[in-house]
Structure 1
């Protein structure tokens, strides 16, 4: 699969996930196999204004190539300025634009998965980003739409292709579904039929490498984007590498091997943040994902999830039954958020006119993350 001048094999992309796909987690995944590994979401205004927290988030490990950065913005001028900065200062080799985030603090500003409903505003943003990027490829990640009555993905895909976007990725759920229900893989097939001139990547319900192969066979898509399926499972990328090379081997780590990965993950976070307290606190959210399916009591789980130092974490990991084998299917399936929402939070009057290209008041946030 080619994204601009970047060759991606196997055709696998790590989905940008706020608070997860930082440099340490990407390092754990990248060492397992090939693909494209995308950063956390970066807010364009915060980047342009050189917010210290935002600049610290744009961290790539030595030798990390290609460097892939996801940007979120609503104002075409600000998005264009941010992409200009990325290209001029060599901050990344690839820019992905977020039109898929469903969280209220993003959609209520008209951003993320709310934005493609405004077709002309979407076009203005894409045109500004592609013009500013120069030789850097620009890609788009989006959802099917706001809800089943306001589907946008086919129009958005066509607009993206017309404006010179190098690839589009579709999370085959609507914003109101959030992460609930089942991903509509048929929508990915329809998008591929609508924009055959650029790569289309599918996202949604890829929990195993075999799921990725099934998605590509079912939809005809050019590649896959893996999000929640790799939470607590960085070795999924080894499985994906094996699957796309036709090899039957799959990773089946024992609990001891998982514990060793957990220890290393926490240590990498501490090194990245330059603070043991910050790193260990950040690691806590990963504990339940790593232990899914294993027979570990509530007490040890709680102890690990409340560790306050590396020494404490290492001590608690050491008491886990290291020989316990991989639990099989019990370890697969949803991790992270998995419920639907009652409604999508939108700016007042957002659905009145899909042709309105005005930027919502106070649309841009100076804080990164989503």
Structure 2
């Protein structure tokens, strides 16, 4: 098995080096001039930043044949050597653990899923350790070390402290999961909220690449929201930000697990929809799939439940857009399987509630399987590796 202990640190722990590296990672290959322009750094700063990265093999610089032919002269391009290191990303749900092995460019090389028989921290930790062990065995075939483990968990997660303060789906409170996982696996661990982790991946590689301000809204078991403002993923002073699921849209609405009434999540989360469909129709649907099937079959009560969910989501999105004015809102999550049942209500309610030109915000859908959420966890591990330790800073 590959040694779980990293043999090296990123060769240039400076803001400029991290900035150049992530710029090339997200937008490369790039010439030094283009990298400087995108990172808003001087040519001298770029030269200083890239030198140790080139020497250590994290960046490579060579002439691209197509560009050379197009320009009629050599064009040396900076790019990340994805094979230089490996990382593990893990998404923990209430039912299973999804793990991926990625390269330095966060490309998934191996993916695994392990069912959970119990949601207790001890049992989850044991399943996690076994999954990571399997991925480390897979890493042997690549000939490079695994340098970090990213963990993504739903709920109130304090990345700086490495603690799950509250996860409703796991029923955890104040679990020091990062430290426990580090002891169990021997790897440096970055723990973050699952939606924020997915937001990092979308910012670097997905529908948010190149945007300085966007929001990622996830629908499904919960209603989450990741925020990027002025190019930075926002966590908030207390490690909590973007909780669109707990925006009150109906003060007289159903009770939410957070203790308030009429939250978006209390109306539009999967469990809330299933419970409401049972109540309205009298049909004891077993799960989301049966609720969706009933609505697709034309049951008016079920369709009304989904319409109400769409209105709640649309109002929540409008609240985010009115407050922050993002260029784009990306809607994702497992709840997109029912998107046709509430897409119109999301669109119409958003348009009605958005203030003025905020309604021009580009709202788009992007289905992402849980392997992509695990990839987001790996992205946070890469982020921790190449930049200042987030335990030492507040965003």
Task: Report the TM-score range of the alignment, normalised by the length of the smaller protein.
Answer: under 0.3
- Looking at secondary structure, tell me which structure has more helix per residue: 2
User: Which structure has the bigger radius of gyration?
Assistant: 2
When normalised by structure 2's length, the TM-score is 0.26
When normalised by structure 1's length, the TM-score is 0.27
